[in-house]
Amino acid sequence: MGMRSKDQWIERSTAWTKTSLPGISADDTFNKMIITEVKILPGEKLLDLASGTGNPAISIANSMNGIGEVFCTDLTEKMLHSARHRAEDLNLDIVKFIAADMASLPFADNKFDAITCRFGAMFSDDKVSISLESHRTLKKGGRVAYIVWGSYDENPPFHIPRQAVCSYLGIEEGSTPERHSMSAPGDLEKMLTGGNFSRIEERELRYKNSIEDIKGYVTRNLKRSFFKETENLTEAEFEALRQAVIKAWEPYIKDGVLLVPNYARLGLGWKTS
């Protein structure tokens, strides 16, 4: 079952808020890729969909030198709590926060210069509606960028801890998580085509995230992604689970640094009419 309802996202937001760090994201790589690919410039009016704790909206606003507007949106107001604090930490006055469904946006036609969505489109039941709404609210000549996760097996940040947690707790791993529902090549192109976009591009994004604080990284991941499985563990039980996950990461650790491969897919489109 996908985590699509507002109540489910509110529940999830509690763990995300507790584990979100202030300021610019500790791993800003995908955010910087979006800024580069969309060619975001100071003075533009930008909409970020499914912003969650503020990615990439906070990084985009930080790159605009205080000139322009960035609308940071998510399905629930509670999910935007951390994003607000991050913007305040960085004195980003150009960021506005609005609870909004990306398949039914509360904005006028032809309002934005660019629209971004980092790891949100995969969770919608109606992906073409998202694309059509983006097209409607963009100005002519505007551009959109969606980033979605690549395949589960090629994303160790997800399958390594999940398999380790399930093995340690003796529970079934289950089906492939919904976050990978748009991992097949062509999925983004189909979505953008359905939204009437032109000059469509789809390609891979890959990089390795270097983690020096392995214990902190694993702890945040467990408390965010496995909050239900860990919330009632004793301190000793949590520590044993954390060590089991760290051990599972050993093939990716070199000279005390965890090198985490990340694989996503990028879809770009332009509104030409």
CATH number of the domain residue 134 falls in: 3.40.50.150
Torsions phi, psi for 147 (to 5 deg): -115, 130
99: its two tokens: 């609870």
Kindly state whether residue 247 falls inside one of the protein's structural domains: no
Do 206 and 273 contact (CB within 8 A), yes or no? no
What string of DSSP letters covers 49-108?
ES-TTTTTHHHHHHHTTT-SEEEEEESSTGGGHHHHHHHHHTT-TTEEEEE-BTTB--S-
48: its two tokens: 């970020």
Q: What pLDDT, on a 0 to 100 scale, did the predictor assign at position 115? A: 98
As averages over each run of 10 residues, the pLDDT of the chain (273 residues) reads 50 58 85 96 97 95 96 92 94 97 96 97 94 98 98 98 96 94 97 98 97 96 93 96 98 98 98 93
Kindly state whether residue 162 falls inside one of the protein's structural domains: no
Q: Choose among 157, 172, 164, 81: nearest CA to 119.
A: 157
Predicted TM-score (pTM) above 0.85: yes
Do 195 and 270 contact (CB within 8 A), yes or no? no
Q: What pLDDT, on a 0 to 100 scale, did the predictor assign at position 8? A: 60
Kindly state whether residue 226 falls inside one of the protein's structural domains: no
Q: Choose among 114, 54, 64: nearest CA to 89.
A: 54
Burial of 11 (0-12, 13-18, 19+ CB in 10 A): middle
Q: What pLDDT, on a 0 to 100 scale, did the predictor assign at position 79? A: 86
Q: What pLDDT, on a 0 to 100 scale, did the predictor assign at position 2? A: 37
Kindly state whether residue 67 falls inside one of the protein's structural domains: yes
- How far apart CA 70 and CA 24 sit, in angstroms, is 15
Q: Which residues contact 82 (CB under 8 A, 6 or more apart)?
A: 16, 17, 20, 53, 54
Total domains present in the chain: 1
Kindly state whether residue 108 falls inside one of the protein's structural domains: yes
Strand (E) or helix (H) holding 129: helix 127-137
- How far apart CA 9 and CA 19 sit, in angstroms, is 15
Kindly state whether residue 230 falls inside one of the protein's structural domains: no
List C-alpha distances in Å: 36 to 41, 200, 262. Answer: 10, 16, 18
Q: What pLDDT, on a 0 to 100 scale, did the predictor assign at position 149? A: 98
Q: What pLDDT, on a 0 to 100 scale, did the predictor assign at position 26? A: 84
Range of the domain at 182: 6-154+177-208+263-270
Kindly state whether residue 119 falls inside one of the protein's structural domains: yes
Kindly state whether residue 110 falls inside one of the protein's structural domains: yes
